[in-house]
Amino acid sequence: MGIESVELRAPLLDLEEREEGFLRLQPGRVTELAGVPGTGLTRLGLRLLAAPSRIAPVVALDTRGWISPEAAWETGVIPENLVIVRCDQPQIWPKVTAALLEGVRALYAEVPVGAKEQDLRRLAALARARSVAVAMRPMGKSLPSGVAHLRLRALGVTWEGADRGHGRLKRRRLVLEASGKGASGVTRRFEVEDEGSDIVRVVSDVVVGETRRAIG
């Protein structure tokens, strides 16, 4: 008897855990946050620092001087352990990033436009060698292939709560696409809900399930 597809709860649970895992930084790995400005990736990047900030100082490397620690605190980053490093000079950005990778446990770094591929590869190697968990947010084009272990690309964002003058912004839904080695080479889409606090939920029902054929 041929079966078109198999639906089992357990694999779905695994899938959900995997997506939750996409929202955790891993020591020695670079996670790329790719997407156009305005899609919520700054907040997501700061949120990735929340867990490591519970045990050690974490750094947000800000190339525009606009990152707000208040948003980071809302996502659960420990205030005393958050340091904001402002670097608006692209020519010294690689040196500053390397200096930080030598000592901090976790880093969210905006990557300035025009950052050299060679520098990015060296920084990724340094992050591996020093076991630093890194999230990189390119301001220009994407990171060169092989730099990021996991690539999270924002596909779209929708806001709830505001209605032609009434209410206020309450909930953001961000559709992400995970790819790269960190996603086992399989491109997956999932959605996260952000209610402005440290609660970020993975909504797995938007996952595009792959129909697998089997014989039984």
Partner 1 sequence: MWSLGRPDAPSDDPVLIVDDRVAGATDDVLAAGVGLGMPRREAEALAPFATVLTRDPGEESRRFDPVVEVIEDLIPRVEMVSPGLVFVPIDGAVRFYGGEDALAERVVKELDRLVGHERGGHALVGVADGPFAARWAAATTDVGRPNVITDTVGFLAGLDLVTLRESANGDELIDTFRWLGVSTLGELARLPREALVTRFGSPGLLAHRLASGEDRFVDPREIPPEFAVDAGFEEPLETLDEVAFAARALAERLLKGLRASGVAPHRVSILAEAAAGEPRERIWRSADPFTEKALSDRVWWQLRAWVESGGVPGGITRLRIAPADLSDEGRQLGLLQDETSRIESERALARAQALLGPDGVLQGRAQGGRMPQERVAWSRWGEPLVEEDRDASAPWPGATPSPSPALVPPRLQPLEVEWDEGLPARVRLGTRWEPVLTWSGPWRLSGRWWAGERDADRYQLVTSAGAFLCVVSEGRAFLAGVYD
Residue numbers of the site for partner 1 (CB under 8 A)? 36-43, 46, 54-57, 59, 64-71, 73-74, 78-87, 92, 95-96, 99-105, 157, 159, 161-169, 172, 194-197
What are residue 147's phi and psi, to 5 degrees?
Answer: -75, -45
Would you say 21 or 57 has its CB closer to partner 1?
A: 57
Torsion-angle region of 131 (φ positive above 0: left; ψ -120 to 50: alpha; else: beta): left
User: Quick check: helix, strand or coil at residue 123?
Assistant: helix
DSSP letter for 46, please. H
User: To the nearest whole angstrom, how small is the minimum distance from the Cβ of residue 138 to partner 1?
Assistant: 14
User: To the nearest whole angstrom, how small is the minimum distance from the Cβ of residue 132 to partner 1?
Assistant: 10
Rounded to an integer, what distance in angstroms lies between the CA atom of residue 33 and that of residue 176? 10
Would you say 31 or 188 has its CB closer to partner 1?
A: 31
B/e letters for 97-124, b = 16+ CB within 10 Å, e = fewer, are: beebbeebbbbbbbbbeebeeeebebbb
Would you say 37 or 146 has its CB closer to partner 1?
A: 37
User: To the nearest whole angstrom, how small is the minimum distance from the Cβ of residue 113 to partner 1?
Assistant: 14
Would you say 9 or 168 has its CB closer to partner 1?
A: 168
Would you say 139 or 207 has its CB closer to partner 1?
A: 139
User: Quick check: helix, strand or coil at residue 189?
Assistant: strand
User: Quick check: helix, strand or coil at residue 197?
Assistant: coil
What does the block give as tokens for 65?
């001087």
User: Quick check: helix, strand or coil at residue 109?
Assistant: strand
User: To the nearest whole angstrom, how small is the minimum distance from the Cβ of residue 114 to partner 1?
Assistant: 18
User: To the nearest whole angstrom, how small is the minimum distance from the Cβ of residue 156 to partner 1?
Assistant: 9
